[in-house]
Structure 1
Amino acid sequence: MKNQSTSKAGISWIFKMAWRDSKASGKRLLLFMASIILGIAAVVSIQSFSANLKDNIALQSKALMGADFLIDSDKPPTPKVQAIIDSLGGVDAKGVSFPSMAVFPRSGDTKLVSIQGIQGAYPFYGELETVPLNAAGTYQKTNGALVDATLMLQFGVNVGDSIKIGNSLFPITGSLVSAPGTGGVGASIAPPIWIPFKSIEETGLIQIGSRVGYDFYFVADEQQDLEELDRLVDPMLDVEGADLDTHLSTGQRLGRNYENFGKFLNLVAFIALLLGCVGIASSVHIYIKEKLSSVAVLKCLGATRKQSFFIYLIQIAGMGFVGGFLGVLTGLVLQQSFPLLLQGYLPFEVEISFAPQAVSVGLILGVLMSVLFALTPLLSTWFVSPLQVLRVQDDNGKNSLTSRFLVLLAIMLFVFGFAYWLLGRLNYALYFVLAILMVFAVLGGTAILFMRLVKRYFPNSWGFTARQSLLNLFRPNNQTAVLILAIGVGTFLISTLYFTKDVLLAKTSLEASEKAPNLILMDVQTEQKEHAENSIKSSGLEVLNNIPIITMRVQQIKERPVRELILDTTTTMNKWILHHEFRVTYRDELVSSETSLEGTWPVEKTPNGLIPISLAENVAQGAQVNLGDKLIFNVQGVLMETYVANIRTVDWARMQINFSILFPSGILESAPQFHVLTTNVPDTGTSASLQRQLVKQFPTVSIIDLRQVLSVIEGILNKISWVINFMAFFSILTGIIVLIGSVRTSKYQRIKESVLLRTLGAKSKQILRITALEYLYLGLLGSGIGLVLALVGSFLLAKFVFQTAFIPSWPPFVIVLPVITLLVLLIGLFNSKTVLQSPPLEVLRKEIN
């Protein structure tokens, strides 16, 4: 009983001492708690929004598809596919979709659109929102068209006007506000137009080479197991070149697309949190250093090393809990802005609700990371001797190497575990930890190297102010390493995002040259080719490319038929190769976006009468074939035996027409084919005029203006870049708070130095210059190293990931670097104001509080 009461009293005493000490000096750590709040807020806001997004997708998956499940194909159903459809009770609705040019007769304007021909009461779930409301139920009966609302505003058309699609003229019976599957980026390039299924044939738009999708929609019985249906029926449809999708699988796939972006943002937020924890470790180091004499006194009075250790551990844990709690509240408020940031890129409205998992993650992270990163300095209290009270020299105690190693190992395991939880892949988590270690090691190592170089090669010939500013960088209790780390990581993130965005835009940009095509005519039939060429030339433009295209499927790979490979569950061959309908061309040379890897092209001799072909590297890898391997293609019912004569790389990101498979000339000229023509138009006015002329002559031809596509891509990248920069801002802000906190925490040491200098005759202006120079060095060094790391990282991304030339953009050099440096300087001067205002007698009278 006595031991229990003593234990209880001991615990109570520890908490009382932790509370009393924190009231007296805990405010020194408040700024570092703010850095934890920012990191937690960033993680919680993204975690909470991701959870809400996932729940919304699960709840709205039927509305997103408009049915319980569908069967889709890029060709009319074969007898076997039709038999499967009949066995499922027949379709409840069906549709056909394809891109086409639409003409507004009143103005003559043209636009690439996505045609949806619908038969039946589709959608069965969700809402076909139109203006007027009754248009959704009457457009099929009145043979009208529902036109995208944004498109109508853009071209100034109203309900009651007409729109021409192919050879048919449709009255606009309503504007299409929202519909299943019509949101997102695709609608920005080709806005949707819904017309009756029965009118599709009259448009004359479905011809050889047309990119058509056939959809068959089903409403499931209540007892029907959709997952089991998918497992049984989908393999049978795969053999026939069709596919089955349930609303569950579609929702999961959509969720994964947004989840990947969320994971990346989480990592950016996690880096901000790591920065805050580095600040915690630094501040606790200085804080505990000042408390070691108090710890020694406690031990003289009978306190055990465990009790003195837990007094300060409880303080740090309490600070982490409060920081985590406030960070959670901030994150929950912050997530309200995410639907606005992603507006236009989500096919539905996200309803924000409470996410318990995100809240618990924030609270646990606040406590766990604060304690983990504070353990190394806290261990100093464990090794303090009671004799420290009697010692005049500054003896901080020595930590056990084993304990320090175990703490470092615990931190690394935690970071790795959290990264794995975010990414779901061990290798990705490992790469993330290695990248973080590399960036932190370079920044920290550079800071330490800089301090040692300054100390070793100290410029004794400099003036007093310049010398003293350099001395401050390696004085006791200096914050050089932690400040350079915080400033450098924030600069690294922001600059890398700028550089990478520009790399992506450069890959899609159009060359300002007469030889660079920026207008593409698709689906030009053979009998239309000559007339289309003449129309382009009559406008004073040059036909840059006339590319023949033939559609075909792989019939056999090596000695195995494709049907057999589809049914083989053990094969590691990429399935898309087996199901894909390839669009190929024939030519005897490689273009600028292609580089030969193996073999030669063109081929002079063909062995055994086989036809030589050139494969893109990704196709060769997916089909698991090498030079000399045999493939048989089905070209409109005709089998063609080929062998792999060349393997090449293709830069698919280039804004030009690329092909997976090339045939030599003299083989496919008589095969059913269509053509793609390209030209270069100097301005938007000429482009619009030519498009109106071509669509009037050739209603079935689709025209793509690459400049419009590029503007959409640029808008997407700018939007994504803005969101990522918004999250990277947390890293910069965390770094600033670490900077403020570092100055505040070492303020008392600074006061001693300042008043001693003033006692020795230094003026306030001199001390101000010393401070300004010191923070100028820190700002330039931290942001400069971060910028160099960003340059190296972006160069590696451009070369190995995007495989393109890297040309750095200017904003990081002329904006990010000077602004961050100036910010560091101003904050340093502002927080040093107290130092300059302290009278020298404070030190002489030992009245420093």
Structure 2
Amino acid sequence: MAWRDGKASLTRLMLFMASIILGIAAVVSIQLFSDNLKDNIKKQSKSLMGADFIIDSKQKPSEKVQKIIDSLGANAFEVNFVSMAAFPKNEGTKLVKVRALEGAFPFYGSLTTVPENAGKNYQELGGALVDATLLLQYDLNPGDSIKLGNVTFSIIGALKSIPGSTAISSSVAPQVLIPFRFLEQTNLLQLGSRKEYQYFFKNTTIDLEALDKKIDPILDAENADLDTHTSTSRNLGRRYDNVGKFLNLVAFIALLLGCIGIASSVHIYIKEKLKNVAVLKCLGASRKQSFLIYLIQIIAIGFIGGIIGALIGISLQFAFPYILQEFLPFSVDVSISFQPILMGIILGVLMSVLFALLPLLGTWYVSPLEVLRGQEENQQKPKKARILVFLAILLFIFLFSFWMLKSAINGLVFTLGIFVTFAIMAGVASLFIKLIKKFFPTSWGFTSRQSLLNLFRPNNQTMVLVLAIGLGTFLISTLYFTKDILLAKTSLENKKTDANIILMDVQSSQEKQLVQNFESKGLEVIDNIPIITMRMESIRGKTANEIRQDTTVNMRKWMLNREFRVTYRSELTETEELLEGEFIGKVTAEKPVLISIADNLAEDGNLKIGDDVVFNIQGVLMETKVGSIRKVDWSSMQVNFMILFPTGVLEKAPQFNVMTTYAPTEESSAALQRDLVKNFPNVTILDLRQVFTIVEDILDKISWIINFMAFFSILTGFIVLIGSVRNSKYQRIKESVLLRTLGAKSKQILKITALEYVYLGLLGSLTGILLSLFGSQLLAIFIFKEPFIPSGIPFLVFLPAITILVVVIGLSNLKSVLQSPPLEVLRKEV
């Protein structure tokens, strides 16, 4: 019977199925890609690192660390740092990451260059390998030269890839590889220079887990670190797990949206079948039999939809490596596994049945007398059964989100978020219907009144269309609003008080010359900040080594290994707010040195007002007390510090400076940088204009990925819309024929339908945009802590575009409605 009845309604059942296919496709494609990503990370872990393990340190290795390195037998090493590079060919300058290498690194993977043999020859030939994109930007070719500090290198080849780097990191500071033997001649490493020492090891026989447990604590105590290829792959896997979780949630939302379409379409479908069910019961069919007829149809819909969705998902997963290639440090080999496909099919069946159960329950309570009564509405409401089904749906959503997020709290928050969002949109639709009923415009013309009446007629589509249109609009609008918040954080205002050029590693002997250089170009020195490097020697009377070994100490121990860069001044700046204590700007002879620390340092170190902290400044110990705790605005463009000393204590300590200025035009900025690179090669120049351009480019790429994923939800919403509108076609035929029998013209019917879908399109999209406006405001306040100025695009583009699309889809059904003869209603062929 299910087969016979289904054949007669095949077109309508296919539309039900379309609601679920895209959600399944999204889930399966993302699951397959996540599995492939994890497998590739495991297989390529050595190639990602380029070695079996690495020992690295932010300072020259201590005697103990050096002995460990020598005993393990390092096969290659490097010193890397950021510096300015100059290109004599066109007088260009650029901030680059210099890697001074010694040895045949990488041992695994490949150093991809053009020409191919450049990676093998550059150390022997004494030349440089320069990032390929950087060469294109400055119109350079192998054979041209690059100047780093006091040494000019010949460019041996273009560097296309090296293990461990990504396109995003290279865009911030493009990599330049040089032979280690020339590092000292460049004279780039001065007091305060930020540098990293890395030692690469190739050893296939050593037990990496045992090695990590044995020597990592020793290295930590000496401010060094051990990274193995297995730990790196685990960390990388966790990093991309977060990406996978986000993509899974977006796919799950698309799936839920499809399920709303299933629930609505089945609701209409079952309502039209109630008389058939009543006839079957008159002929002796049991409740169970009539219920199973339509349940079998729904199971078939979910099963076939799951298979089709899984097949589409298999095809889609091949696109993800290209979509995410900017964010992956390796190429992904795509393969097909059975588990996500099986999950997609099971998910299709389970979600279809769960969301169809509420309308299906109507068949259970149909009385045989319905045949005689001729009522369209089933009067008996199975409240307990409906509550149980609703709870089952919520439980499933929670369990599925818990499985994806691996956190019960996050799963609960996600489930509540889905419930609240849907509840608000459903509440808006319900309120809209009540307001129309209460304040019905009786003075309007017939067609206008009839279009409003359609919004709350039997079998109306107001609720489902508002949910489908609203949620899709909500997702895409939130993306645009959030993007605006992020981009606002990177905007540059044309004010001379805001520095856009930062000079780092300025030595004391260069300070006066640089000031004169600025003045000769008509530029003002905005900040000239002294920087002193130091480490924490002891806290509250316990040495750093004692704290590292004491597992009972309640603090995060990263600060014990950190080389702090601090400054001194007599007053706080506008980016700092005093939270506790009193800031003393000048040291007095009677009192100990009172320092001010940032609130995040106080929290991580469990530091309070009055705590003793001893610092090691180039071998000299200085006793201090925590005098105040500050809140620092780290998002500001000013140079901020975790630790602030008063004046009168550090002036004679070894130090370097950070200087800032404002260059009004790109030309003046370029001229200044060329001059500084030529005369002060050790000074690192940070051009904030270039940084912001890179940040905006990264945000655009992230936005594109989110847009791509939102596409699943939007398209699913439109599939639901098409399915819901198409499935109301049969009811429309009946209404249209009745109207035409009463004398309505085709033009009037056309206007009634168009106005109805204008209301639905405007209500759904406006609800989604306003909800996203509220949500984005909350994000701005609690997450980004930035002022929120909404974009006009959702209101000016999305609102009319989505409304027009809704109207077009709604009117596409009208052709057959207008062509149906009035006799059709009398023949009962609806």
TM-score computed with the length of structure 2 as normaliser: 0.97
Residue among 659, 662, 666 paired with 2:641: 659
* Matching of residues 302-701 of structure 1 within 5 Å: 302-396=284-378, 398-602=380-584, 609-701=591-683
Inter-CA distance 682–27: structure 2 relative to 1 (3 Å threshold) = same
Aligned partner of 1:22: which letter?
G
Is residue 168 of structure 1 aligned with residue 151 of structure 2?
yes
Aligned to 2:99: 116
Cα deviation for residue 285 of structure 1 reads 1.0
Look up the equivalent residue of 2:91 and give its one-letter code: G
- Mapped partners of 1:161, 1:392: distance in 2: 89
Q: What are structure 2's unaligned runs of at least 5 residues?
A: none
Q: Does 1:846 align with 2:800?
A: no
CA contact (8 A) 2:52 2:204 kept: no
Alignment of 1:128 with 2:111, yes or no, is yes
Q: Classify the secondary structure of the residue corresponding to 1:302.
A: coil
Is the 2:587–2:646 contact (alpha carbons within 8 Å) kept by the matching residues of 1? no
- Aligned mate of 1:70, from 54, 58, 63: 54
Query: How far has the Cα of 1:604 moved from its partner?
Result: 7.2
CA 1:600–1:835 in structure 2 vs 1: closer, same or farther (change >3 Å)? farther
1:732 aligned residue: 714
Q: Is the 8 A contact 1:29 1:741 kept in 2?
A: no
User: What is the CA–CA distance in structure 2 between the aligned matches of 1:571 and 1:418, rounded to whole Å?
Assistant: 39
Query: Structure 2 CA distance, aligned partners of 1:529 and 1:387?
Result: 98
| Inter-partner Cα distance in structure 2 for 1:392 and 1:137 | 87
**Structure 2 SS opposite 1:508:** coil
Q: Give the Cα separation in 2 of the matches to 1:776 and 1:549.
A: 64
User: Who is 1:13 aligned against?
Assistant: none
Distance 1:595 1:831 in 2: 63
1:638 maps to amino acid: V
Distance 1:503 1:600, change over 3 A: farther
Is residue 587–residue 648 contact of structure 2 (8 Å, CA) maintained in 1?
A: no
Establish whether residue 32 from structure 1 lines up as the match of residue 16 from structure 2.
yes
Cα deviation for residue 228 of structure 1 reads 2.4
Aligned mates of 1:400, 1:571 — CA distance in 2: 60
Match of 2:43 in 1: 59
> After superposition, where does 1:192-231 map in structure 2 within 5 Å?
192-222=175-205, 224-231=206-213
1: distance between equivalents of 2:19 and 2:520?
A: 66
Query: Would you say 1:243 and 2:228 are equivalent positions?
Result: no
Match of 2:808 in 1: 826
Aligned equivalents of 1:591, 1:363: Cα separation in 2: 60
SS in 1 for 2:417: helix
Q: Which piece of structure 1 moves more, 642-651 or 305-314?
A: 642-651
Alpha-carbon deviation of 1:531?
A: 0.8
Is the 2:501–2:660 contact (alpha carbons within 8 Å) kept by the matching residues of 1? yes
> In structure 1, what residue type is equivalent to 2:35?
A
The residue type equivalent to 2:62 in the other structure is T
Q: In the alignment, is residue 186 of structure 1 matched against residue 176 of structure 2?
A: no
Count of equivalent residues: 830
AA aligned to 2:10 is G
Residue deviations 1:282-335 (CA, integer Å, cap 9, x gap): 111111111122222223333322222222111111111111111111122122
Question: Residue 572 of structure 2 aligns to a residue in which SS?
Answer: coil
> After alignment, is 239-248 or 134-143 more displaced?
134-143
Cα distance in 2, alignment partners of residues 570 and 34 from structure 1: 58
Matched, 1:764 2:746: yes
Identify the match of residue 243 of structure 2 among 258, 261, 264.
Answer: 261
| Identity of matched residues, % | 62
Question: Secondary structure at the residue paired with 2:373?
Answer: coil
SS at match of 1:732: helix
For 2:415 and 2:324, locate their aligned partners in 1 and report how far apart those are by CA, in whole Å.
29
* Structure 1 Cα separation of the partners of residues 57 and 118 of structure 2: 29
Q: Matches of 2:224 and 2:167 in 1, distance apart?
A: 24
- Whether contact under 8 Å (2:6, 2:13) holds in the other structure is no
296-305 or 460-469, which deviates more: 296-305
How far does the alpha carbon of each residue in 1:610-664 deviate from its partner, in whole angstroms, 9 at most, with x for none?
2222222211111112233332222222222222222222232333422222122
CA distance in 2, matches of 1:430, 1:801: 20
Structure 1 residue 836, shift from structure 2 partner: 2.3
- Measured in 1, the distance between the counterparts of 2:458 and 2:800 equals 29
Check conservation: 1:278, 1:373, Cα contact below 8 A. yes
Comparing 495-504 with 755-764, greater Cα deviation is found at: 755-764
- For structure 1, the 5+ residue unaligned runs are 1-16
Structure 1 residue 179, shift from structure 2 partner: 1.0
Alpha-carbon contact 1:58-1:251 (below 8 Å) kept = yes
Is the Cα–Cα contact under 8 Å of residues 549 and 675 in structure 1 kept in the other structure? Answer: yes
Q: Is the 8 A contact 1:381 1:397 kept in 2?
A: no
How far apart are residue 837 of structure 1 and its match? 2.3
Partner Cα distance (1:194, 1:36) in 2? 52
Contact residue 509 and residue 655 of structure 1 kept, 8 A? no
Alignment partner of 2:27 out of 38, 43, 49: 43
- Looking at structure 1, the residues matched to 585 and 321 of structure 2 have their Cα atoms a distance apart, in angstroms, of 55
Equivalent position of 2:127 in the other structure: 144
Find the partner of 1:752 among 715, 720, 734. 734
| Counterpart secondary structure, 1:95 | strand
**Superposition deviation, residue 721 in structure 1:** 0.6
Contact 1:383–1:397, Cα closer than 8 Å, also in 2: no
Structure 1: how far apart are the matches of 2:660 and 2:167?
A: 28
- Equivalent residue in structure 2 for 1:804, among 775, 781, 786: 786
Once structures 1 and 2 are overlaid, which stretch shifts more, 332-341 or 781-790?
A: 332-341
RMSD value, Cα: 1.8
Give the Cα–Cα distance (whole angstroms) in 2 for the partners of residues 749 and 124 of structure 1: 71
Alpha-carbon distance in 1 for matches of 2:739, 2:22 = 37
Distance 1:576 1:608, change over 3 A: farther
Provide the rounded CA distance (Å) in 1 between the counterparts of 2:257 and 2:74: 57
Q: Give 1:776 shift.
A: 0.9
Q: CA deviation at 1:608?
A: 6.7
Residue 261 of structure 1 aligns with an amino acid whose one-letter code is: V
Query: Matches of 2:522 and 2:744 in 1, distance apart?
Result: 79
- Distance in 2, matches of 1:675 and 1:605, equals 21
| CA displacement 1:335-391 (0-9 Å, x = unmatched) | 222222223332221111113332122112111111111111111222223333333
Counterpart contact for 1:182–1:192, Cα < 8 Å: no
Residues 42 and 269 in structure 1, CA contact (< 8 A), matched pair in contact too: yes
Identify which range, 224-233 or 463-472, moves more after superposition.
224-233
- Give the conservation status (yes or no) of the 8 Å contact 1:29–1:745: no
Q: Which amino acid aligns with 1:50?
A: S
Give the structure 2 partner of residue 19 of structure 1.
Answer: 3
* Aligned counterparts of 2:765 and 2:434: Cα–Cα separation in 1: 20
Cα distance in 2 for residues equivalent to 1:502 and 1:570? 45
CA distance, structure 1, for counterparts of residue 180 and residue 631 of structure 2: 41
More displaced, 392-401 or 753-762?
392-401
Q: Is the 8 A contact 2:257 2:717 kept in 1?
A: yes
* Further displaced range: 557-566 or 714-723: 557-566
Decide which moves more: 627-636 or 471-480. Answer: 627-636
Deviation of the 1:79 alpha carbon = 1.4
Q: Secondary structure, in 3 states, of the residue corresponding to 1:71?
A: strand
- Please give the secondary structure, in 2, of the residue aligned with 1:609: coil
Once the two structures are superposed, what CA deviation does each residue of 1:22-80 show, in whole Å capped at 9, x if it has no partner? 11113213223212111111222222222212211211111111100111110011112
Instruction: Return the offset for 1:572.
Output: 4.3
Q: Could you say what secondary structure the match of 1:612 adopts?
A: strand
* Amino acid paired to 1:441: A
